[in-house]
Amino acid sequence: MQLIDTDLASRTRLTGMLEAQKARPGQAMDSWFYQSPLVYQTELDGILFKSWLCAGHISQIPETGDYFLFDVAKESIIVCRDERGQVQALFNNCRHRGSRVCEQTPGNRKTFVCPYHGWVYELNGALKSARQMDVVAGFAHGDHSLGKAQVNVCHGFILINCDPDASPIAKEVESIAGPLSAHEPENWKIAHQQTYPVAANWKLALENYLECYHCATAHRAYAKLHTISDLEDNIKQETEEMLARCEQQTGVPGIGDLVYKVYQHADSPGGGVECSRYALYPGHVSGSEDGQAVAPLLGKLQGYDGGLADFQFGPLTFLIVYPDHGVMYRFVPRDQLNTDMHITWFVREDAEQGRDYDKEKLTWLWHRTTLEDEYIIRRNAEGVNSRFYQPGPYHTEYEYACLDFVQWYLARMTEASQ
C-alpha cells in the first residue's frame, strides 16, 4: 500500500483532519488516521510513549539479575530486578554510540555489557566501567547511565511509562484495588504466553477489543458463554442475578464494584483504570470450551458465581479474570501497519500443569477467539485502507468504549500536534 503524508509540512493537514473528525461525533475515523506516517509518529511521541503500558508480571523476574525485553514499535526496554530488589525499566541503548546492550531474552545477568565497545552497566542502569575512557577529558561515569522509564508495580503487574513527567498510575489503581486484590494477581504465575501478529494499525486492533458488536457473528464459542455479546436489556436478568449473588458465592465483599475511569474519564492523560463484573450464561462458570472450571480458584475467592471480572490499565492493557484463571491482552504497535497482540494466561502460583490444570483446555477459548480476531482485524484493515472506504456510525451501546477512545484520542492528538 502506498503510504501518504511523509512531508512534515503536512502538520497543517493533521490539524485540519483532527478538527474535521471532531465535527463528526459518533462516526468512525477517517482512513487517513490509520495510513499517515505523520499521524503514527505523532502517536508515538504524544500518546504511546506517554502512556502507562504493562511490560509484564513480577513472576517473570523473581531473582536478582532476572530480566526480559519489552519492545514497543522500534524501541527496546530491559525490564530487570536489580541488587536492591527493585524493578527497573532501562532503555536498551548504550550511552556511548547507541548499540543495543542486551539482545537475548529472558535471562539472568550480573551486569549488562555492550557488545560493541564493552561498556558495562549495573542492573540499575548505572555505568560501571567504560573501557579506557579515562583518557577522555571530563568524562564522568555518572553522566552516562542507561536511560530509564518510570515503573509502577501494581498488584504484581509491571507498568511502565517513558514520560518522566507522567503521573503515577499506582494512585489510579487504588480505585480498583478491592476487586483486583481479591484475585491476588501478585501471587499468580504465567501458564502460557503467545504473541499474535496482525497486519493492522494498532488502533484497529484496539477498537476491535473495545466492542462486542462483532462477537455474535465472529466469536460463536465466546458468545455462547458471555452475556456481554448481547444488548443490556436482553441480559438484564442474568446480570442482576449474578450481581446479587457474587459477594456471597465468592466470599469477597465489593467484588461486583464498577469503576469506569478510562480514556477521557481517566484521572491522567496516559493512565486510566476500569473494573466491572458481568455474567456468564447460566450453567457456565469459567471461560473454557464447555464453560466449566479449568484451574484452581484464584486468591480469596471461595466459589463460582457465574461471573467474571474485567479490568483495564492505561489505554492498551486489559485483564479478564474468571474465578479460576486470568487472561491479559496487551496491544503493542510494531510499526504503522502491524500490531502484536500479546496474550498471557495466568493461574495461581501453586497450580501445577498436568495436576491442577491442562494448558490446552486453559487456553482453548481465548486462543481460538484471538485467531478469529486476527482474521477480522486484518480484513478490517484491508477495507479501511481502501480508497473507497467511507466511515459509518458507531453503535451507541455496543461500541460506547470506541466512542470514548476516539474522543480521548482526538484530544491527545490535538495536544501532541500543537
Furthest CA-CA distance within the chain: 77
Element counts in the chain: helices (H) and strands (E): 11, 17
Q: How would you list the strands of the sheet with 87-91, edge to edge?
A: 87-91, 75-81, 66-72, 107-108
Residue 146 is part of a domain; what is its CATH number? Answer: 2.102.10.10
Residue at a domain's end among 100, 117, 152: 152
Please report the pLDDT score of residue 105 as a whole number.
87
Q: What is the pLDDT of residues 135-149, one digit of tens each?
A: 999 999 999 999 999
Please report the pLDDT score of residue 9 as a whole number.
60
Please report the pLDDT score of residue 418 as a whole number.
84
Q: What is the mean pLDDT of residues 261-280?
A: 97
Q: What is the pLDDT of residues 199-215, one digit of tens each?
A: 999 999 999 999 999 99
Query: What one-character-per-residue DSSP string does 195-225 give?
Result: EEEESS-HHHHHHHHH--TTHHHH-HHHHHH
Q: How far are the Cα atoms of 181, 225, 400, 403 from residue 172, in angstroms, in the given order?
A: 14, 31, 22, 22
Number of domains in the chain: 2
Q: Is 83 in contact with 124 (CB distance < 8 Å)?
A: yes
Q: Are residues 200 and 299 in the same domain?
A: yes
- Does the pLDDT of residue 7 top 70, yes or no? no
- Does the pLDDT of residue 220 top 80, yes or no? yes
Q: Are residues 89 and 193 in the same domain?
A: no
* Peptide bond before residue 106 is cis, with ω within 30 degrees of 0: yes
**What is the span of the domain harbouring residue 58?**
53-152
Q: What is the mean pLDDT of residues 376-405?
A: 97
Q: Are residues 125 and 181 in the same domain?
A: no
Specify the residue for cell string 486453559: 362
Q: Are residues 223 and 356 in the same domain?
A: yes
* Mean pLDDT score of the chain: 96
Q: What is the mean pLDDT of residues 48-52?
A: 98
Please report the pLDDT score of residue 1 as a whole number.
41
Q: How far apart are CA 231 and CA 227, in angstroms?
A: 8
Q: Which residues of 9-40 are buried (b: 16+ CB within 10 A; e: fewer)?
A: ebeebbeebbeebeeeeeebbbbbbbbbbbbb
| Helix (H) or strand (E) run with residue 128 in it | strand 127-129
**Nearest CA-CA partner of 222 in 111, 320, 355, 339:** 320
Q: How far are the Cα atoms of 11, 22, 403, 413, 414 from residue 16, in angstroms, in the given order?
A: 9, 10, 20, 12, 10
| Helix (H) or strand (E) run with residue 107 in it | strand 107-108
Least confident of 9-13, 129-133, 188-192, 267-271: 9-13
Q: What is the mean pLDDT of residues 328-356?
A: 98
Q: What is the mean pLDDT of residues 373-402?
A: 97
Residue at a domain's end among 152, 180, 199: 152
Please report the pLDDT score of residue 12 as a whole number.
86
Q: What is the pLDDT of residues 71-92, one digit of tens each?
A: 999 999 999 999 999 999 999 9
Residue at a domain's end among 152, 185, 209: 152
- Does the pLDDT of residue 178 top 90, yes or no? yes
> Is residue 216 in some structural domain?
yes
> Is residue 137 in some structural domain?
yes
Residue 250 is part of a domain; what is its CATH number? Answer: 3.90.380.10
Please report the pLDDT score of residue 5 as a whole number.
52
Q: Are residues 207 and 77 in the same domain?
A: no
Q: What is the pLDDT of residues 224-248, one digit of tens each?
A: 999 999 999 999 999 999 999 999 9
Give backbone dihedrals phi and psi of 81, rounded to 5 degrees, phi first. Answer: -110, 120
Please report the pLDDT score of residue 54 as a whole number.
98
Q: What is the pLDDT of residues 242-264, one digit of tens each?
A: 999 999 999 999 999 999 999 99
The model's pTM is 0.95
Give backbone dihedrals phi and psi of 181, rounded to 5 degrees, phi first. Answer: -65, -25
Q: How far apart are CA 369 and CA 343, in angstroms?
A: 11
